[in-house]
Each structure stands twice: as C-alpha cells, then as structure tokens.
Amino acid sequence: MSFLKKLLVTAAFSAAMFVNAAYAENVKIALVVKSLGNGFFDAANKGAEEAAKELGDVDVIYTGPTKATAEAQIEVINSLIAQKVNAIAVSANDADALVPVLKKAMERGITVISWDSGVAKEGRQLHLNPSDTGLIGETIIKLAADYLPEGGDVAILSASSTATNQNAWIEAAKKVLPEKFPKIKLVATVYGDDDSAKSTDQAKGLLKSYPNLKAIIAPTTVGVVAAAQVVTDENLIGKVNVTGLALPSEFKKFIDNGASQAVALWNPIDLGYSAIYLAHDLAVKKDEAKPGATLSIGRVGKVTLDENNSAAMAPPFQFDKTNIEKFSKIY
Ligand code: RAM
C-alpha cells in the first residue's frame, strides 16, 4: 500500500471510529432552566425525561441556578462546557448576556438551542417558543378584560426585568391595548424575579400604590401564585382579580376560592419534551436549523423555523372553574 493510500485508510478508519464513539454513549443534553425550584420547569423536565425514554439514547441533565439571573446561568453553562455535554437547551434569563458563553459552547461542537425564554439569534441554533408571542400578549390582557366589562386599572407583575419571554409578551400586550381593550388602563409593571418572596412584596406594593386596581396580571407561574395569595390574605377576593399564566396544579386553589376567575398556559410537559427532541436531532441526526426548515418534535408534531430560526409550539389553553380540576392532575 502506498504511503498516501495508507494515510487515507487510516484517516477513514479514525473518522469511522469518531462517529461510532459519538453513538457509543448516550447523548448528554442539559436542560438549563431560569432557576431551580420552579414547578413550571419541573413539569418541563418531566417531558424532557419522556423524550429521553422515547429516543432511547439521551441522558437529560436538569440544571439551573438557584436565582433567576444571567450571571448565575453563565456559571452553570461554563461548567456544562467543562463536562463536555453534547447539547444545551436553555431557558434564558437574558437574551444577550448569555451569547458569549453559548458561542463558546457552539465553537466546541456543543449543540445549543433556547426554549421558553430565548437567546439572541447569534447565541443559539434555534429557539422554541411555547406559543406565538403576539397571541400570548393578547391572551394575558383578554383574561383580565373579560371580567372587567366597565374597564379599569390593571398592573403587571412580571418575572425578572431581563426575561426574554415575559418582556416580549408585555410588549405585545401593550401593543394591542389601545385598540382592542380601550377601557383597560395599565398603570404599572413590576418585577418579582420568579422569586416567591419578592413577588409577594411586589404584589403588596401594587395594592398599596394603586387602591383602585381591578386586576393583577402575572405572566409568570411564580408571580401569579404569589399575587393570588396576597389578594386572598388581604381579603380582596372579588375586588382584585388575579390572572396571567399559571400552572393548574399550583393554582387550582385560587380558582376555587375566587381570587382568580381564569388563567392560561400551554403544556409545560410538551415544551420540555419538544426541547429535548429538537436538541437531540440537531446533535445526532445533524438536522439543520435554517429558516423554513420543518423539524420533528416527536409525538407533539412538527415545527417550522421562521427567519430568526424560531418556532412556536401550540396556542395556550384557558383554565377556569370548569376545567382546572382536570388539568391540575396533569401539570
Ligand atoms: C415562569 C417562568 C417561565 C414562564 C412561565 C409562564 O415559570 O418565568 O419562563 O414561561 O412562568
């Protein structure tokens, strides 16, 4: 065998070895959440584990900081890079701050996607939204407006001030307000950082500063529970309606006691499942994330990427007295 031929054969052999090595072990996918201890993310992790079981070659690493900040998430991601995970699927506490560390991950061959709360385009291969952003923005206002035929003052209690998802929904909500809900007046937006204690303080502050408040809209599963608890404790049931995005299992008691008339959410289990499915197929099947590409999300269906390599899963469902019992047993 000529030297050149020998070299080529050796090269081909090592390439085959390399490919085999990638499949010999399970694909390690890190599901990085905004913060741990949040029931919404625990439900997403349940879906992630379902996807791993179905795909058969995935190990899910469920991780995140204790506080929902970008700095803490950067630390978590740096340690995942050091552990040489194969993919990172992150719900971001800040769209831009995570870009450098995620770029570093991609340069090292790690597949990176964002889901739930997005990363700027250059820091990830694709982003999976739970639903259409405009639709969520309109839904959270409508949930309040439906129970305020005369109109009135409402305030928003959000998650962190840098959360990509909540900021996009609030912007979309503000856009539809003047035309579609002219009698609803948004008097304030405050931030509880997806922290129970801080959200409780912020809800109390709103009630003090705005005595005519008719509704608190919390587009966060942590904030909405805190606000409903405050309204309950301050005997304001019937005066202030709490609404927004809530996990039925955590929120049922506030529909039951009347602190809230209705809330909405998508299926968090399906969202976590879909994130793992997409990350897996990009990492293993080398699916290409490019505008117009249609990608499988297993039992949930398919998504098509838009010009920003973003896609949306499904419309939100509404929960009220008629159906929250049933959903509270699922998530
Ligand atoms: C909280 C988080 C999450 C958001 C839900 C609705 O759990 O902020 O990112 O999607 O609420």
Residue 158 and residue 259 in one domain: yes
Residue type, 301: G
User: Would you place residue 286 in the very low, low, confident or very high pLDDT band (cuts 50, 70, 90)?
Assistant: confident
Task: Write b or e for each residue in 23-36: b if 16 or more Cβ atoms lie within 10 A of its Cβ, otherwise e.
Answer: eeeebbbbbbbbbb
Which pair of structure tokens corresponds to residue 231? 């309204």
- Domain span at residue 260 reads 133-265
Atom 6 in ligand 1: which residue has the minimum CA distance?
220
Instruction: Give per-residue pLDDT as tens, 221-243.
Output: 999 999 999 999 999 999 999 99
Residue 125 and residue 144 in one domain: no
* Domain count along the chain: 2
Residue 147 and residue 222 in one domain: yes
> Of all residues in the chain, what percent carry a pLDDT higher than 90?
92
Whether 308 is in a domain gets the answer: yes
Question: Cβ–Cβ contacts within 10 Å for residue 298, how many?
Answer: 18
Whether 326 is in a domain gets the answer: no
**Spacing, Cα 11 to ligand 1 middle (Å):** 48
Residue 72 and residue 196 in one domain: no
Whether 331 is in a domain gets the answer: no
**Spacing, Cα 103 to ligand 1 middle (Å):** 24
Q: Is it the case that residue 168 has pLDDT exceeding 60?
A: yes
Mean pLDDT confidence for 205-221: 98
Whether 11 is in a domain gets the answer: no
Whether 179 is in a domain gets the answer: yes
Q: Is it the case that residue 15 has pLDDT exceeding 60?
A: no
Best residue among 34, 36, 93, 170 to mutate for probing ligand 1's pocket (most ligand atoms within 8 Å of CB) is: 34
Residues 6+ apart with CB under 8 A from 293: 287, 304, 305
**Spacing, Cα 227 to ligand 1 middle (Å):** 15
What's the first-to-final CA gap in the chain, in angstroms? 64
Any ligand 1 atom below 6 A from CB of 245: yes
Q: In what order do the strands lie in the sheet with 213-218?
A: 184-191, 152-158, 213-218, 241-244
Residue 236 and residue 162 in one domain: yes
Residue 235 and residue 151 in one domain: yes
Residue 156 and residue 224 in one domain: yes
Each as own residue / partner, the long-range contacts of residues 253-258 (CB below 8 Å, 24 or more positions apart, any chain) are 254/225, 254/228, 254/229, 255/319, 255/320, 255/321, 255/324, 256/321, 257/232
Q: Give the ligand 1 atom nearest the CA of 40.
A: 7
Whether 7 is in a domain gets the answer: no
Instruction: Give per-residue pLDDT as tens, 57-66.
Output: 999 999 999 9
Question: Cβ–Cβ contacts within 10 Å for residue 302, how many?
Answer: 10
Residue 221 and residue 295 in one domain: no
Residue 199 and residue 240 in one domain: yes
Q: State the CATH number of the domain containing residue 237.
A: 3.40.50.2300
Rounded (5°) CA angle 166-170-176: 145
Residues 98, 114: Cα–Cα separation, whole Å: 11
Strands 27-32 and 87-90: parallel
Residue 288 and residue 259 in one domain: no
**How high is the mean pLDDT of the chain?**
94
Q: Is it the case that residue 22 has pLDDT exceeding 90?
A: no
Any ligand 1 atom below 6 A from CB of 250: no
Residue 242 and residue 151 in one domain: yes
Question: Cβ–Cβ contacts within 10 Å for residue 103, how many?
Answer: 14
Q: Give the ligand 1 atom nearest the CA of 219.
A: 6
Mean pLDDT confidence for 6-20: 45
Best residue among 165, 250, 331 to mutate for probing ligand 1's pocket (most ligand atoms within 8 Å of CB) is: 165
pLDDT of residue 24: 63
Rounded (5°) CA angle 191-99-57: 100
Whether 5 is in a domain gets the answer: no
CB 246 within 8 A of CB 319: yes
Mean pLDDT confidence for 158-180: 98
Residue 284 and residue 189 in one domain: no
Give 245's DSSP letter: B
CB 192 within 8 A of CB 229: no
Whether 29 is in a domain gets the answer: yes
pLDDT of residue 16: 41
